[in-house]
Chain A
């Protein structure tokens, strides 16, 4: 699976958009970008995934650059409950075994 690079930590003001970047310059054509988050010591939670088109769901938006070498997860109106570690993961859509490989992630702190 392609390696990802994320900032170690970020701050965001409550009510503002949180934009979390991820670099995946070695991504290959059959690899998707997945985002998970982990609120303090809880189990990781799926957020969103995409291949090349921008995606949006009730939790977040995912913007993938045209060359697919980087992406941004957007939480449109961050709340204190969005404080968590956010993991960007790249893996093939039908990866045999289906396990996810977590990196260090970005620790997002939403401040009042």
Chain B
């Protein structure tokens, strides 16, 4: 158990819909990262938040957005869903902005299926 909690574990929805994925980082961790893993793309970094503020952005689509709340949990919002958005979405956390051990703690993921 990494200490990172993601909900829901599974989600099935239709094209055009909007969903929200939730992540609670490990106690004491200020940074949250979102990754997307689809069959043909591997693990892709989407976005990082540190203590409520966006810190780094990767290959995140404009239809996707995220935020980190004062209690440090984070939500990833996916809208106008397409079939290609079907993937595993992982959240990870670390203590600070720059973790010198390089260690990220990953949750178990949210599996999104778009029909």
Smallest distance from the beta carbon of A93 to chain B beta carbons, Å? 6
- The reply to whether B102 and A44 form a contact with Cβ atoms under 8 Å apart is no
Which B residues fall within an 8 A CB radius of A? 2, 4, 31, 33, 35, 42-43, 45, 48, 55-56, 58, 88, 90, 92, 94, 96-109, 111
- The reply to whether A96 and B98 form a contact with Cβ atoms under 8 Å apart is yes
A-B contacts, 27 of them at CB < 8 A, read A32-B102, A34-B102, A41-B88, A43-B2, A43-B106, A43-B107, A43-B108, A43-B109, A44-B43, A44-B104, A44-B106, A49-B102, A87-B43, A91-B102, A93-B100, A97-B55, A97-B97, A97-B98, A98-B31, A98-B33, A98-B99, A98-B102, A98-B104, A99-B58, A100-B45, A102-B42, A102-B43
Which A residues fall within an 8 A CB radius of B? 32, 34, 38, 41-46, 49, 87, 91, 93-105
A-B contact count (CB 8 A): 71
- The reply to whether B109 and A42 form a contact with Cβ atoms under 8 Å apart is yes
